[in-house]
A and B are shown apart, each in its own frame.
Chain A
Amino acid sequence: MLSRLLLRIPWGAALLLVAGGAVTGAVLLFLLAGPYFQRTYRNDADPLAATRPAPTTAAPSSASGAGATGSPVPMVANPPPTGPAAATAQLLREGSFRDGDPGHNGEGRARLIRAADGGYVLRLEEFSVTNGPDLFVILSTDPSGSRGSATAGDALNLGKLKATDGNINYLIPEGTEVSAFQSVIIYCRAFRVVFAIATLEASS
């Protein structure tokens, strides 16, 4: 039927219609379906790392040199700053990601951190999510992270998802009242689908 319709119009126009339709279909599939078959990785520095004791192994000074014996002694590299004036990053709240709408899976942790410089950072840690088109990271005031809350007026869009896997930081705009936010939603704006949710709870 489509072929007959095409035969009723000039051949040049028919060719343009078919070629245009094919290219449009291919571009749509690339943009909308393509992301489901891609993985991307990112590893941002942990804002809390400077304040965490990071045990390293180092030989004691008395055991240096060839043939020295003795067990390695754990030492703390870059000890956290101490004293009342020292500014340290602090984990405020965190939660584990769970699956969103059917067929859309997420895992890892969401951590709300006050950085050493006083700013706020949302960190997705050991994070992995089903890839998809037009994905955004949303801070929501709804603990359940429902679909509607992702687009509610009080939700905060932190920007496009930077990668499907890894450790990813998002700066929260200055002046944001972070205590209002109860969940993190990975949300597909194009199809209004929730890919993953993490409910934020007070850090122990």
Chain B
Amino acid sequence: MTDTNHAHPGWRYPQGSPLGNAARRIPETAAASLSAGGRLAAAAVAVAVVISQDYDRTRMAAGALAALITLTVAPLWSRAARSLEWMGAGLAFFGGAALAAAGPAWLMLPAGGLAAAAIAVREAHRRRVPDVLAFFAAGAVVGGLVAVMVLTLEG
């Protein structure tokens, strides 16, 4: 059994996966709240890292991540909102991994994972193909951010 995928016209979304069925049993509003909440929590942790750490490079990276993640929660770009959601979760997840040794920064990692899972639940409700590419692209963004920090800030 298939269903039309609204994000990719003509594409048939496969139905009947136990994972999709389980996801659809979670209320969509709860998933939406967890998606935004997870990303905001990750941004708050990043701000805590900025405040608690004294190494400039760490503070700059955490500050940049906090700003980027917060931007993905703001309803600014409706067309790109879906990809931005995934990217926000990825920034939290991979940013938390990169900064894991800096105080509470590791908490960003589960927050990002939670946000990603919540976004996947929403996608299941809307029968859309999860934009996992945007999630993984966030890992590349974090890698680029690290490179910029290393090359521009004296360590």
Which A residues form the contact surface with B (CB < 8 A)? 1-4, 6-7, 11-12, 15, 18, 21-22, 25-27, 29-30, 33-34, 36-39, 102-105, 129-131
Report how far A56 CA is from B153 CA in the complex, Å.
41
B14 CB contacts on chain A under 8 angstroms: 7, 11
Question: In chain B between 42 and 68, which residues have their CB closer than 8 angstroms to a CB of chain A?
Answer: 55, 57-58, 61
Which 4 A-B residue pairings sit nearest by Cβ, starting from the closest? Answer: A130-B155, A26-B97, A11-B17, A103-B151
A37-B94 contact in complex given A3-B132, A21-B136, A25-B136, C-beta closer than 8 Å: no
- The answer to whether B20 has its CB under 8 Å from any CB of chain A is yes
B11:A36 contact, CB within 8 angstroms: no
The interface size of chain B toward A, counting residues with CB under 8 Å, comes to 41
Most buried by B among A1, A2, A21, A26: A26
A38 CB contacts on chain B under 8 angstroms: 55, 58, 101-102
Contact of A36 among B19, B94, B131, B155 (CB under 8 A): B155
How near does chain A come to B18, taking the closest CB pair, in angstroms? 7
B98:A33 contact, CB within 8 angstroms: yes
B13:A7 contact, CB within 8 angstroms: yes
As a 0/1 sequence over residues 86 to 106 of chain B, the CB contacts with chain A under 8 angstroms (1 = contact) are 000000011011111110000
A30 CB contacts on chain B under 8 angstroms: 97-98, 100-101
- The answer to whether B71 has its CB under 8 Å from any CB of chain A is no
Task: Find the B residue at minimum CB distance from A106.
Answer: B155
Contact of B97 among A11, A25, A102 (CB under 8 A): A25
How near does chain A come to B142, taking the closest CB pair, in angstroms? 6
Question: In chain B between 98 and 155, which residues have their CB closer than 8 angstroms to a CB of chain A?
Answer: 98-102, 109, 113, 116, 129-133, 135-136, 139, 142-143, 146, 149-152, 154-155
B99:A34 contact, CB within 8 angstroms: yes
- The answer to whether B79 has its CB under 8 Å from any CB of chain A is no
B55:A39 contact, CB within 8 angstroms: yes
How near does chain A come to B86, taking the closest CB pair, in angstroms? 10
A6 CB contacts on chain B under 8 angstroms: 130, 132
B97:A15 contact, CB within 8 angstroms: no
B61 CB contacts on chain A under 8 angstroms: 37
B129:A3 contact, CB within 8 angstroms: yes
B102:A26 contact, CB within 8 angstroms: no
Most buried by B among A12, A30, A37: A37
Report how far A21 CA is from B116 CA in the complex, Å.
14
Report how far A141 CA is from B76 CA in the complex, Å.
59
B155:A131 contact, CB within 8 angstroms: yes
A15 CB contacts on chain B under 8 angstroms: 19
- The answer to whether B25 has its CB under 8 Å from any CB of chain A is no
